[in-house]
Amino acid sequence: MGIISAIILLGVLIFIHELGHFLLAKSRGVLVERFSIGFGPVLWKRQKGETEYALSAIPLGGYVKMYGEQPDSEDDDPEKAHRSFAKKSVFSRFLIVFAGPFANFLLAVVIYAGIFMAGTPRFLAEVGDVAKDSAAMTAGVQKGDMILSIDGKDMKFWDDMTAYVQDRPGQPLNFTIERGGKKLDLTITPRMVTDKDVFGENIRIGRVGIVRGEKNVIERDNPLKAIYNGAVQTYTISKLMLVGLVKLVENVVPADSLGGPIMIVKMAKDSADTGLISFFAFMAVISINLGILNLLPIPVLDGGHILFLIIEAIMRRPVSIRVREVANMFGMALLMFVMFFAFYNDITRFFK
């Protein structure tokens, strides 16, 4: 089940990524000779119109083969010269290259929008328990209390309430709670504690000492709001991933946290076992990750091609084929090293 889930997940993401390149190439008048899901030996192929569609043996990527991709390529057929990728403007080539990662970000927005329209549970600001000797217990908070507001601001949901409290350690806060149908006003001062953020770094936050209850409601967005929230969610996760990437380079995030295909298979299985919503949410995260990774300025990736195009726009001539070849060799070596390291981490986790 895990392998099947991973194949479906990666297959969809690769298809969407390559479809972005394909559609933009077509729209800019470039001849697409092959659209392939996977690398290596071709397992299946079919010619339709001027393009050959194929499934290849190694399902860790894909490619769109365009006529005249190399900047110094010689067009064999003069009648096709106007449809050569290399003969298109820098701007057109930039759009074609950028379209792949953009398609992955767009897919994430669509998935999140669908999730928000289907409905997501949000926990209410109900007190499930009170920690002994905590600020909340000292102030008189009891199990079953419903937090209505803090400092006059509506706090219907648990996540809103905790975010407000965590940002205000040591500040007296005026809580309005509901108990047995009656409203009570309590003043609680969050105590400063040291906790870990998502990257494992120490942070100081405020905490009053209450545990979340189980009451929740299902929130469903209308299509326009869902698309907006989907875009916000995609931006938020993209920003978090970029910060995490920087911290990985800075060694703040340990290198052994890097995962590869084995971890994706496991996480795809776990999310599929949890339900379709979890599986699609995981797909959106991996799609964002794929978009970001492809935009890194590493030769052989889309980001490397974009870097060459920027240099070409500045210098007003293509980067020499020799420089491109050396850069691509370096980029491939770097990617192979990262993939090997990710596999090593996966195997290490598996045998722990």
Q: How many CA atoms lie within 13 A of 302 on its CB side?
A: 26
Return the minimum-mean-pLDDT range out of 68-77, 165-174, 181-190, 212-221: 68-77
Nearest of 175, 164, 178 to residue 207 by alpha carbon: 164
pLDDT in tens, 31-66: 999 999 988 888 999 999 999 999 988 877 889 999
| Amino acid identity for residue 99 in this structure | A
Distance of CA 67 to the CA centre of its chain: 32
241-265: per-residue pLDDT in tens?
888 777 777 666 555 555 555 556 5
- Span 61-82, pLDDT tens digits: 889 999 988 655 555 667 777 8
Between CA 261 and CA 8 the distance in angstroms is: 13
How far apart (Å, rounded) are the C-alpha atoms in residues 66 and 71?
Answer: 12
Range name among 30-39, 212-221, 222-231, 274-283 with the lowest pLDDT average: 274-283
pLDDT score of 253: 56
Per-residue CA distances from 316 to 9, 68, 309 (Å) = 41, 19, 10
Helix pair 223-249, 90-118: axis angle to 10 deg: 120
Helix ranges (DSSP H) in the chain: 2-27, 90-118, 135-139, 158-166, 223-249, 261-274, 276-294, 302-315, 321-350
Residue 50 contacts residue 34 (beta carbons within 8 Å) = no
Q: Is the pLDDT of residue 165 over 80?
A: yes
What 3-state class would DSSP assign to 55?
Answer: strand
Contact status, residue 58 vs residue 42, Cβ threshold 8 Å: no
Contacts of 245 (CB under 8 A, 6+ apart): 292
Helix (H) or strand (E) holding 203: strand 202-207
Residue positions annotated with a catalytic role: 18
SS3 130: strand
Residues 6+ apart with CB under 8 A from 101: 17, 20, 290, 291, 292, 294, 295, 302, 303
* β 51-66/127-130 pair status: unpaired
Q: What is the percentage of the chain residues whose pLDDT exceeds 70? A: 86
Question: How large is the greatest C-alpha to C-alpha distance in the chain, in angstroms?
Answer: 85
